[in-house]
Structure 1
Amino acid sequence: MCGRFALTATPDEMMELFSLLESDDFPARFNIAPTQPIMVVVAGECAAPGSNLPERKAVLVRWGFMPGWVKDPRDFPLLINARAESAIDKASFRAAMRHRRVLVPASGFYEWRRPPKGSREPSQAYWVRPRKGGIVAFAGLMETWSSADGSEVDTAAILTTAANASIRQIHDRMPVVIQPEDFARWLDCKTQEPREVADLFGPVAEDYFEAIPVSDKVNKVVNTGPEIQDAVTPRSVANAQLKGKDEPTEPDGGQMSLF
């Protein structure tokens, strides 16, 4: 899955990679959590003036997908991820897969290695980033949810796939990565049917990411500084020093309410 990520790129870097006409200034974010606003890139309606490149736009949405047919969000689970293998056929994601595919820019994501059931080994957080640096684009789906009073909320989810061998040592799922040469095809919902882009759902190459063990500071949404990405000795290695102490937990549930 993908339950936390970071985006620390500059607006200029975003404009260059995604062929955006413009990008508002935005702060570096080191610990983006579900229900918070995230940036997504959507396809434009026409080509940029004087260019053969499509006009793409960066917009803010809430991370937590809400299908348009949901009447009461309090009765519906928070969908931060969608399994790429089944999203085409799932009622929750079917319309978005056909009409509202987006890119989710990130500098990397966080994942937690859970110990085997019954083990006293603590969980370990990892900062997973492109080995060569730069921005990675996750496959995303977007939907606008409308309430009975007419107010609207743009929402999104990140598509995941089976992890490659290197990430599988930490977790069995990972975000779907869309390469720059495939941006146009993924965003083209007019001529590219969902099944015609399903070949993009495989795991990224084995050497694309590197996983860096980090402290459990990332578990708390209030910790938003760059220090949460500092490398540490894996807790399994330092287990002897942890005897008698509380084990770290998965990311806390202290997220903002989506509505």
Structure 2
Amino acid sequence: MCGRYALTATPEELVELFALLKVDGFPARYNIAPTQPILIVLAGERAAPGSNLPERKAMLVRWGLTPSWVKDPRDFPLLINARAETAAQKASFKAAMRHRRILVPVSGFYEWHRPPKDSGEPAQAYWIRPRKGGVVAFAGLMETWASADGSEIDTAAILTIAANATISAIHDRMPVVIKPEDFSRWLDCRTQEPRDVADLLVSAEDDYFEAIAVSDKVNKVANLGADLQTPVTPHPRRDSRQQAVPKSTQLSLF
């Protein structure tokens, strides 16, 4: 599951990694939460023969996908994540899987290890980032919802998959990572159907991410500083014989 993340890269870094024409300036964001505007990358318009314009573009959308067929978003759950294993079949996501696949640039994400309630142990927040640093691209889906008066809002969700060995000690789900060499294939909704890109929907390698225990300040959306990523000593576990953090019992909505 992915419920909070950070993006601290510069616009120049994003332009280079995603082959964009430009990205408007923006400040580093250390606590991006659902319903907030997020930066995404999608395939651009088909370029004219001989054109040297970039094939991708960036835009801001709301984090929390609303399918186009929804009549009133107030009566519909906020879809911040979608299960990669079933998104192509689910009514809420199948159109976006076929026609509107996107990339979500992030510097890392936050996850919570939530022990069983009867254990008496507190939840522990973790900052999870690529071991080699830099920006990572999460697989995402986009939908444009139109109201009865014609106004539109662009929305998005992040695809998740079963966690790898590193993340499963904290949570049973993790975002799907799309590698740079696969950007074009993932974003190509003209010729690549969901079944053609299904092989990209896998867990990242076990050594791709590192998890760093951080304070619970990240729980509050009003906390926005870099100190959210300052390492802390994890909460002690009651059973000192335990050699690893047990898998989370939290369930994903999707």
TM-score between both structures, scaled by the size of structure 2:
0.91
1:209 corresponding residue in structure 2: 209
CA distance in 1, matches of 2:50, 2:132: 32
51 and 227 in structure 1: CA distance in 2 versus 1, 3 angstrom threshold? farther
Q: Which runs of 4+ in 1 moved over 3 A?
A: 46-54
Instruction: Tell me how large the CA RMSD over aligned residues is.
Output: 2.0
Q: Write the letter of the residue equivalent to 1:181.
A: E
2:81 corresponding residue in structure 1: 81
53 and 130 in structure 1: CA distance in 2 versus 1, 3 angstrom threshold? farther
CA distance in 2, matches of 1:33, 1:190: 31
1:126-137 paired onto structure 2 within 5 Å = 126-137=126-137
Contact preservation (8 Å) 1:48, 1:54 = no
Contact preservation (8 Å) 1:143, 1:154 = yes
1:71 corresponding residue in structure 2: 71
| 1:219-247 deviation per Cα after TM superposition (whole angstroms, max 9, x unaligned) | 000000000000000012699xxxxxxxx
1:29-40 paired onto structure 2 within 5 Å = 29-40=29-40
Q: Aligned-pair distance for 1:117?
A: 3.7
| 1:28-65 deviation per Cα after TM superposition (whole angstroms, max 9, x unaligned) | 00000000000000101234997768521110000000
- The size of the alignment, in residue pairs, is 241
Q: SS of 1:16's equivalent?
A: helix
| 1:158-198 deviation per Cα after TM superposition (whole angstroms, max 9, x unaligned) | 00000001100000000000000000000000000001101
Contact preservation (8 Å) 1:43, 1:54 = no
Contact preservation (8 Å) 1:124, 1:235 = yes
| Stretches of structure 1 lacking an aligned partner (at least 5 in a row) | 240-249, 251-259
Q: SS of 1:87's equivalent?
A: coil
Q: Write the letter of the residue equivalent to 2:106.
A: A
Higher deviation after alignment, 129-138 or 42-51: 42-51
Q: SS of 1:62's equivalent?
A: strand
Q: SS of 1:86's equivalent?
A: coil
1:150 corresponding residue in structure 2: 150
Q: SS of 1:74's equivalent?
A: helix
CA distance in 2, matches of 1:19, 1:48: 17
Q: Aligned-pair distance for 1:4?
A: 0.1
Contact preservation (8 Å) 1:213, 1:234 = yes
| 1:93-124 deviation per Cα after TM superposition (whole angstroms, max 9, x unaligned) | 01000000000000000000011241011100
Residue 12 (str. 1) matches residue 12 (str. 2):
yes
CA distance in 1, matches of 2:48, 2:167: 38
1:162-241 paired onto structure 2 within 5 Å = 162-236=162-236
Q: SS of 1:45's equivalent?
A: coil
Higher deviation after alignment, 46-55 or 203-212: 46-55
Contact preservation (8 Å) 2:121, 2:237 = no
Q: Aligned-pair distance for 1:206?
A: 0.5
233 and 49 in structure 1: CA distance in 2 versus 1, 3 angstrom threshold? farther
CA distance in 2, matches of 1:17, 1:29: 18
CA distance in 1, matches of 2:54, 2:171: 36
Q: Write the letter of the residue equivalent to 1:231.
A: P
Contact preservation (8 Å) 2:106, 2:136 = yes
CA distance in 2, matches of 1:48, 1:32: 36
Contact preservation (8 Å) 1:61, 1:156 = yes
CA distance in 2, matches of 1:140, 1:213: 26
CA distance in 2, matches of 1:49, 1:225: 46
Q: SS of 1:156's equivalent?
A: strand
